[in-house]
Chain A
């Protein structure tokens, strides 16, 4: 079955460490996105990528970095510069032609700083 996979489901990070969250899709989608969700809030866009080897900052990119070396993969690194990284991180992919209904979300990674 086609889908989008995020790993790990839970991640613990010590202060000052960088961590990388994985996002893989086999839907042949061109675009991929990373969102952050804090308790009781909506999703905020961190980074997005429309094609391989290209990506754009979203609304809250500071303290994060991404790469898009393959169409299927869009890993997110939470760096030590991110002062409040504890949150639920969601990855999504889409086909541009379908617009909103073409967005597919992963099941998320819950990151906790200890």
Chain B
């Protein structure tokens, strides 16, 4: 079936560097994407979202880029901090006969070295 997936399972970065987490999706009809951060033993925390009519969206220290041509999105974290260490998921919002639902990728572990 169609799914959302990630390229890199683990990413290690030095504190202060920028981080880039990638995600590929296969459902070309999806029109909404979300990035979540999950810390150990906790539920996912919303970071940033983007609609398919946009290529880029910026938040506080984070930027999401969407390339619909190659069905790829990325999350950029500027000046990565130890508190950014977590698992990051991209998710695809799919509409349908029974309403919206989120389809998640496998996740990328981000480790920040001090």
Contact = CB atoms under 8 A, between A and B. Distances in A.
Interface of A: 31, 33, 35, 40-45, 48, 50, 56, 58-59, 88, 90, 92, 94, 96, 99-101, 103, 105-108, 110
Contacts of B98: 48, 50, 56
Contacts of B45: 105
B99 A108 contact: no
B25 interface: no
B43 A42 contact: no
20 contacts: A33-B102, A35-B104, A40-B106, A42-B104, A45-B103, A48-B99, A48-B101, A88-B41, A90-B44, A99-B93, A100-B32, A100-B34, A100-B91, A100-B102, A105-B44, A106-B43, A108-B41, A108-B42, A108-B43, A110-B41
B101 A43 contact: no
Contact of B99 (A35, A44, A50, A88): A50
